[in-house]
Amino acid sequence: MPAAHITTRVDGHVLHIGVDRPEKRNAFDRGMLHALAEAYDRLATDDDLRVGVVSASGDHFSAGLDLADVGPAIAAGEPFVPAGMTDPFGIWGEPCPKPVVMAVQGVAFTLSIELALAADIIVAADDVRFRQLEVGRGIVPFGGATIRAVRNLGWGNAMRFLLTGEEFGAEEAHRIGLVQEVVPAGEQLAAATAIAETIAAQAPMGVQATLRQSRLSRDVSTDAAIADMHESLVPIMTSEDAAEGLRSFVERRDGVFQGK
């Protein structure tokens, strides 16, 4: 397989995951998909890591899949994401149990949108160009857009870009809720990192339970979210972090949480 072109860097409790193939507009080949899943696995399983930031080098986030490499493999029945690994798309395997913040810029086509729909908070540069163009290539989105776009963005908004393959920019993406913040080009990574660092400073057990229950309510049922809340509430309320939270409140300072 070609070189992975996926980088990782730890800064405190934040794992930075970088897409680094700018000479090909960061198009994903099979090696990159595997390496991205490995990076998400690291975020999922390392207790010292509390939140991930996904970004890309160069002028563009990603032109999508390198179909010359990926297409024949998918047509032959190979898995899109390696079995048993954390799935960045949350469709072919288990999603990451920790929050992911994405920074996108320039061309952000196909799989870029699907990664964004699977992530939790998206910061976009004002020059971003989104496009879900599979229908114009004779194929169908298979990274979750047909599932999440309707649920997250509304039927008409989803159908407009899924069925036409039309390009849309930062303003429209913000209007329909695909992105949560738009910043000048070049500032998207700093803005995403600031959000991630704010999340990382909160109590990890509380953050992960909040994310898990919110996903259960959205994806499964209200009853499933309530059941998880009942099961996790006492362990969280009796944790060392909960005691630290109370101390910090009384002492009028920010809490320093250990995830215990």
Under 8 Å between Cβ of 228 and 216:
yes
Active site residue 134: yes
CB-based contact 53:101 (threshold 8 Å): yes
Considering the candidates 114, 167, 197, 240, report the single residue annotated as catalytic.
Answer: 114
Nearest-angstrom CA–CA distance, 227 and 27: 41
Cα angle value 192/225/53 (rounded, 5°): 15
The candidate with the shortest Cα–Cα distance to 191, out of 64, 62, 105, 118, is: 105
Q: Is position 114 annotated as part of the catalytic site?
A: yes
Residues paired with residue 18 on neighbouring β-strands, in sequence order? 7, 55
99 touches 211 (CB < 8 A) = yes
- Which entry of 94, 134, 244, 251 is annotated as an active-site residue? 134
Active site residues: 114, 134
